């Protein structure tokens, strides 16, 4: 295990909300000890004492129910250096020391190339690793160039393009439920599955993240990264093992099978929108364009939706809908697998599998809704929507089987950091996979840039813009 971690961008929101609590969780679980040292680097003119005070306050705010001793141990392991992360001399001072170091780029994507170039000039000890947050690059050309820079710095196995979604227990359960249950895998194809909705709707608005979000938007922030990863887990062929090679090969296969979107497809199968003023729960939310730090002229979307099809034997004829929005009326974070309706119902006089009470006027058929298997991501759970007989003979009623998952032993970022320190890249994104993800959405970015898809609007606290193509 590497016992040195350097965080570039150590005073940002990512460090405060996720990395510091993750380090405390690792300490509390006994995965790290006194040997681990963490050097934070950022542009603030602080010293180590001030940084430790800031970190202690953030751990109190975001550390949840972690033991106080774990947080104190992390704080005492922190050092701080003021640094320009694009300056080789500053970066060299940050990573200096004995033995390999894991360097975490908790930075805006636009700074990745300059920071990687500075690391290359500064030099890293043998056995070091580098961690890059999402999104990886800003477009396909940028991802390719960034991959080239990284290949000159470190071997591919030492590069961790992380997506914390992959470390969530419920996300991994998408694959686990498929492969560990014989009843599911024979049905896991387009013959039985009509469509899959991959949704990350949240009531959270901008919450002070304009500096990052207004330059990225929902499509790059959520769809290009997280939701395409979920698509891979839903649609991939069963891997031989869950090792880094087998798992990542099968994910790349899925992305390569995504049917390229034509300009016509983008116009009719994608949506974008941003929120207007509204009320969510007990708080008033201003319009996105009026949020502090937002440049309305950028036309940044806070809602994005894309419908994809896969050109593969297993999935020909199944639609995959990826959707994410901010400032909505309810949190809905799930993968919903919609099975096709049954071909015939023998209840009453022709009860219909598509709904309705059947023909003949008796109404005994009821309504047989197509089955839906839901992987609930936050909160963690699993639900299966079925149809059965109710209190009256021949009356069909909805049934639901639900299960709640045990909380995972480590937060998602804790699992990712542990993999980085231990050198296990299975849950990181390989370079070719990062490029394929951009290839999928390049036509969308180009068409949106040209204004071919209007920027709709929706009130904060609503369900989002109304659908218009299905």
Kindly list the catalytic residues: 226
What token pair was written down for 397? 């009623």
Contacts of 12 (CB under 8 A, 6+ apart): 42, 106, 107
What token pair was written down for 354? 């598509």
What token pair was written down for 299? 């036309």
User: What angle, 0 to 180 degrees and rounded to 10, lies between the N-to-C axes of helices 244-257 and 228-235?
Assistant: 100
Q: Is 285 helix (H, G, I), strand (E, B) or coil?
A: strand
Alpha-carbon torsion, ordered 92, 94, 100, 105, to 10 deg: -100
What token pair was written down for 445? 């970015």
Contacts of 235 (CB under 8 A, 6+ apart): 196, 254, 257, 310, 312, 314, 315, 320
| Residue 346 CB-density burial (10 A; 0-12 exposed, 13-18 middle, 19+ buried) | exposed
User: What angle, 0 to 180 degrees and rounded to 10, lies between the N-to-C axes of helices 244-257 and 431-449?
Assistant: 20
Buried b (16+ CB within 10 A) or exposed e, 400-433: eeeeeeeeeebbbbbbbbbbbbeeebebbbbbbb
- 42-to-17, 39, 201 alpha-carbon distances in Å: 16, 10, 32
The CA-CA-CA angle for residues 50, 56, 124, to 5°, reads 70
């Amino acid at each position: 295990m590497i016992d040195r971690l350097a965080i570039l961008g150590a005073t940002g929101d990512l460090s405060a909300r996720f990395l510091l609590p993750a380090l405390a969780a690792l300490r509390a679980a006994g995965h790290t000890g006194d040997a681990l040292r963490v050097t934070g680097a950022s542009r603030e003119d602080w010293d180590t004492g001030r940084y430790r005070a800031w970190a202690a306050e953030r751990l109190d705010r975001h550390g949840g129910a972690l033991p106080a001793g774990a947080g104190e141990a992390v704080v005492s392991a922190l050092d701080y250096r003021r640094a320009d992360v694009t300056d080789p001399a500053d970066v060299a001072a940050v990573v200096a020391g004995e033995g390999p170091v894991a360097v975490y780029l908790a930075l805006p994507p636009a700074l990745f190339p300059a920071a990687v170039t500075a690391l290359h000039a500064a030099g890293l000890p043998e056995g070091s690793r580098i961690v890059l947050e999402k999104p990886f690059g800003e477009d396909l050309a940028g991802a390719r160039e960034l991959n080239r820079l990284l290949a000159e710095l470190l071997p591919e196995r030492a590069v961790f393009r992380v997506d914390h979604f992959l470390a969530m227990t419920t996300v991994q359960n998408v694959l686990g439920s498929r492969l560990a249950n014989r009843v599911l895998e024979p049905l896991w194809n387009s013959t039985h599955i009509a469509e899959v909705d991959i949704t990350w709707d949240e009531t959270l608005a901008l919450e002070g993240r304009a500096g990052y979000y207004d330059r990225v938007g929902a499509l790059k922030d959520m769809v290009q990264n997280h939701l395409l990863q979920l698509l891979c887990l839903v649609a991939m062929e069963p891997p031989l093992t869950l090792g880094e090679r087998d798992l990542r090969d099968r994910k790349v296969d899925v992305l390569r099978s995504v049917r390229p979107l034509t300009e016509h497809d983008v116009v009719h199968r994608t949506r974008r929108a941003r929120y207007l003023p509204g009320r969510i729960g007990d708080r008033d939310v201003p319009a996105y364009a009026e949020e502090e730090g937002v440049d309305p002229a950028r036309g940044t979307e806070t809602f994005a939706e894309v419908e994809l099809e896969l050109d593969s034997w297993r999935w020909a004829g199944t639609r995959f809908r990826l959707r994410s929005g901010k400032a909505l009326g309810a949190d809905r974070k799930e993968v919903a697998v919609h099975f096709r309706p049954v071909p015939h119902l023998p209840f009453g006089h022709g009860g219909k599998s598509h709904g309705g009470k059947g023909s003949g006027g008796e109404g005994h058929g009821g309504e047989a809704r197509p089955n839906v298997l839901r992987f609930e991501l936050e909160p963690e759970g699993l639900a299966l929507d079925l149809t059965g007989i109710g209190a009256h003979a021949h009356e069909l009623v909805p049934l639901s089987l639900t299960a709640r998952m045990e909380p995972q032993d480590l937060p998602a970022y804790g699992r990712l950091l542990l993999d980085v320190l231990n050198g296990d890249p299975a849950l990181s994104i390989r370079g070719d996979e990062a490029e394929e993800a951009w290839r999928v959405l390049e036509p969308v970015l180009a068409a949106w840039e040209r204004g071919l898809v209007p920027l709709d609007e929706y009130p904060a606290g609503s369900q989002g813009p109304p659908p218009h193509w299905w």
